[in-house]
Amino acid sequence: MKPAALIIEAEYYPLDLLSQLEVKVSITKSNAVTQDQLRSDLLLHNSEILFCGLGINIDESLLGLVTNIKYVVSPATGTNHLDISYLNSRNIKLIHLGDF
């Protein structure tokens, strides 16, 4: 079974990239614009991977009840929308554009 990935702002990802990604993971697209909506989507789809955008902070108030998350992927070079200390405390791996 492929890991479940939730993608916020999927319209900003190239279609060919999403097609390649779907070979490895089961993708669900989210239209969430608030932490509450995103948390509900993460729980509903039992997501292990979150492809986040810049509009919603990724922190304990979002992920506190989401126990299945293993990776957060951000298309940004900056990390001001991410609580890196919290991600580290949960052993959630962060992959972001600044890594490359």
pLDDT for 100: 63
* Predicted pLDDT of residue 16: 94
Model pLDDT, residue 15: 92
Q: Note the pTM of the prediction, 2 decimals.
A: 0.92
Nearest-angstrom CA–CA distance, 87 and 94: 8
The whole-angstrom separation of Cα 37 and Cα 82 is: 17
Q: Which domains does the chain have, with CATH numbers?
A: 4-99 (3.40.50.720)
The first and second tokens of residue 91, run together, are 């052993």
Q: Going residue by residue through the chain (100 aa), what tens digit of pLDDT does each one get?
A: 899 999 998 888 899 999 999 999 999 999 999 999 999 999 999 999 999 988 999 999 999 999 999 999 998 888 999 999 999 999 999 999 877 6
pLDDT reported for residue 89: 98
